Chains A and B, each alone.
Chain A
Amino acid sequence: MSRAIRLPLLAALCALVPLATVAATRLYDTGPAQDLALVRFVNAAAQPLTVQSGSNSGGAKASIVVAPAAPVTDYQPARSDAPVTGLWQSGSRTLPISLRVKAGGSASAVAWTDGSGNLSGTSFTEEPPAFDPLRASLAFYNADARCTAASLVSSPAKVAIFEKQAASASARRAINPVRLVVEASCNGQPVEGTVDLGSLQAGQRYSVFLVPAGRNASRLIGLQDRIAR
């Protein structure tokens, strides 16, 4: 009985309102259940280095060659539920990579060769960064173990950006979107050379790496962070 009453009412409502107006789109997901973890590779050596994914225990492997002319790869999506493993390779020499990256976080694996051609390296992991639409985000990675106090300043004004950063430590901070050239010091001594980051864009991420450059020397590598497309 009640159905007999409701049906004409429904029909009347449909007659008053165009059907398309009330037709709701079917439900779909907005966004993923979990954010991506990201990893990138930094070749601080003077010759090309190969990165091979996976471990020697098996599984699918892929490799990329990181050239000194483009020493920092784009960020690649990585697993956040298991260690990211791989190898740096230079000829017959290898250096294992093992990173643990949180969902939403990122990691940078850095490698170089010492005077005898052996591979050395370090890695940095970062928490998910805050997004500031009005400012740029700049990270400073001190990959030179010899530099127990590394600092980064603007050039030539020498305004401090990062101060006395420990070896193998990194930090990220918001910075005004201005044209920026940086220089560094290692244990109070100036590092040769500057890095021109160009005109920083609000909402974009940038990185500067301080890396070993032979006996008792360091150098800078800087870039705007990119993600693989």
Chain B
Amino acid sequence: MAGLSILVIGDSHLAQSNYLISSLHDNLLRQGATVHSIGVCGVLPYDWTVSKVGTCGGAERVGNRPPVESSTGKTTAVAQLIRQERPDLVLVVLGDTMAAYKQPDFPMNWVWQQVGSLTGAIAATGTRCAWVGPAWGQEGGKYGKTYARVELVSRFLATNVEPCTYIDSLEMSRRGQWPTIDGQHFSSNGYRAWGDGIAKAVAKLPLPAAANPNAAGAARQ
């Protein structure tokens, strides 16, 4: 992974300082990648094809700088980010915000459209991408997470994120193994384990060996 530039975009799991924006970002940095991470709380895949202010804050981190949290965090269209930063890999961390945990039926058509909007936008740029699906979390909590629904979301994403490679977070832990604060968001230990698991999966991707010296926030580090 040394020398590769990675753009990480996602939802609330990246939107606080001790979430994946630290654990995953740090792990990718340690492996030699140049990393730019942006998390906006509560957003959906389509929101990353436009600019949209999140409903509950966000965070951004460039290279070795610390994360910067914002109550007005917003997305930037992924095509614009790719055009500006020319990353070797776009890593998408989205799943829980689409799961409709409290709805009896999985909104498959809607998720299909949401996922297609973002994978299509990335594919149009020809940039390699990987999609990190949701982790088990713990059942219940204020989001009403269930193991059955998170498994369904994960399996749907696994077969619908092409041309992105799917990274299955469910394989990284047992159900409920990582402690959460609300069923969905993990404690620092949980995010450390998830970040390590994702970084290991990224390291196994068939990524190009050559680095782009001008990419993924390198100019801002």
Contacts and interface: CB of A to CB of B under 8 A. Distances in A.
B96 A203 contact: no
A32 B105 contact: no
Given A33-B103, A128-B105, A229 B110 contact: no
A145 to B, nearest CB: 29
A28 B12 contact: yes
Given A27-B142, A30-B102, A104 B109 contact: yes
Interface string B80-113: 0000000000000000111111110111111111
Interface SS, B side? loop
Nearest to A20: B18
Interface stretch (B2-10, B29-37, B153-161): B153-161
Contacts of B76: none
Nearest to A133: B155
Contacts of A129: 108
A227 B116 contact: yes
Given A26-B57, A28-B42, A21 B18 contact: yes
A11 interface: no
B116 to A, nearest CB: 5
Interface centre among A31, A32, A33, A202, by most chain B C-beta atoms within 10 angstroms, is A31
B159 A37 contact: no
Contacts of B188: 18, 20-21
A77 B142 CA distance: 30
Contacts of B182: 24-25
Contacts of B57: 25-26
Contact of B107 (A20, A25, A34): A34
Contact of B99 (A31, A33, A106): A31
Nearest to B180: A24
Interface residues of A, number: 35
Nearest to B185: A25
Interface string B52-91: 0001110000000000000000000000000000000000
B interface, how many residues as a size bin?
Answer: 35 or more
A229 B12 contact: no
Interface in B150-179: 152, 155-156, 158-160
Nearest to A203: B159
Interface centre among B98, B99, B113, B188, by most chain A C-beta atoms within 10 angstroms, is B113
A31 B18 CA distance: 25
Contact of A25 (B15, B111, B156, B187): B15
A203 B96 CA distance: 19
Contact of B108 (A29, A33, A104): A104
Interface in A121-138: 128-129, 131, 133
Interface of B: 12, 15-18, 41-42, 55-57, 96-103, 105-113, 116-117, 120-121, 142-144, 152, 155-156, 158-160, 181-182, 185, 187-188
20 contacts: A20-B16, A20-B17, A24-B185, A25-B41, A26-B55, A26-B56, A27-B56, A28-B55, A30-B99, A31-B99, A35-B108, A35-B110, A36-B109, A129-B108, A131-B155, A133-B156, A133-B159, A203-B156, A229-B117, A229-B121
Pairs A-B, 6 closest by C-beta atoms: A31-B100, A203-B159, A28-B42, A35-B107, A133-B155, A26-B56
Given A75-B109, A133-B156, A227-B116, 14 more contacts: A20-B188, A21-B181, A24-B181, A25-B41, A26-B56, A30-B97, A35-B109, A36-B113, A37-B109, A104-B105, A104-B108, A133-B159, A203-B158, A229-B121
